[in-house]
């Protein structure tokens, strides 16, 4: 999945120059068009669901999950030094893991 989501999104994105080189660059781009950034988060959510990745509740709409992921990126993720050198896509997968952790397997 790595890299595929960003490539697919950029092909479908409008001419807006969304910088996906890092979380900070992406969030800086989002200052100009938050819809494109929320659509990017929605793409990650839909991809996670289609690949059975993470534990996003089925009752949570893709739009609501994308909003939560976007707010996580703007808040906790942007303040966390772990994500300074992490690719944007890996940061988003980490966001899914942090926002909707899966229960540990029962023994």
Q: What is the number of structural domains in the chain? A: 1
pLDDT of res. 51: 92
- 60 domain-assigned: yes
CA 21 – CA 11 distance, rounded (Å): 16
pLDDT of amino acid 5:
53
Domain membership of residue 93 (yes or no) is yes
Mean pLDDT for each consecutive 10-residue tract of the chain (107 residues)? 48 54 86 84 92 93 95 94 87 94 78
* Within-domain flag for 31: yes
Predicted local distance difference test score (pLDDT) of residue 15: 41
What does the pLDDT read at residue 70? Answer: 92
pTM of the model: 0.79
Residue 94, pLDDT score: 94
Question: Could you tell me the residue range of the domain that residue 61 belongs to?
Answer: 4-99
Any domain includes 33: yes
The answer to whether residue 19 sits within a structural domain is: yes
Provide DSSP, the chain: -TTHHHHHHHHHS-S-----SSHHHHHHHHTT-HHHHHHHHHHHHHHHHHTT-S---TTS-HHHHHHHHHHHIIIIIHH-GGGSSS-HHHHHHHHHHHHSPPPPPP-
Cα separations in angstroms, 68 against 37, 73, 75, 85, 96: 12, 9, 10, 22, 10
The CB-side HSE value for 66 (13 A sphere, CA atoms) comes to: 18
Write down the pLDDT at residue 85: 80
Predicted pLDDT of residue 17 = 56
Q: Is residue 104 part of a domain?
A: no
So what's the pLDDT on residue 74? Answer: 92
Residue 48 lies in a domain: yes
Flag whether 105 is in a domain.
Answer: no
């Amino acid at each position: 999945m790595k890299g595929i989501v960003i490539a697919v999104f950029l092909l479908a994105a409008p001419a807006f120059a969304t910088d996906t080189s890092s979380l900070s660059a992406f969030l800086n781009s989002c200052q100009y068009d938050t819809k494109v950034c929320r659509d990017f988060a929605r793409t990650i959510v839909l991809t996670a669901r289609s690949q059975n990745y993470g534990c996003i509740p089925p009752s949570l709409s893709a739009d609501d999950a994308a909003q939560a992921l976007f707010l996580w990126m703007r808040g906790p993720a942007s303040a966390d030094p772990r994500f300074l050198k992490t690719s944007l896509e890996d940061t988003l997968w980490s966001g899914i893991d942090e926002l909707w952790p899966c229960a540990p397997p029962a023994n």
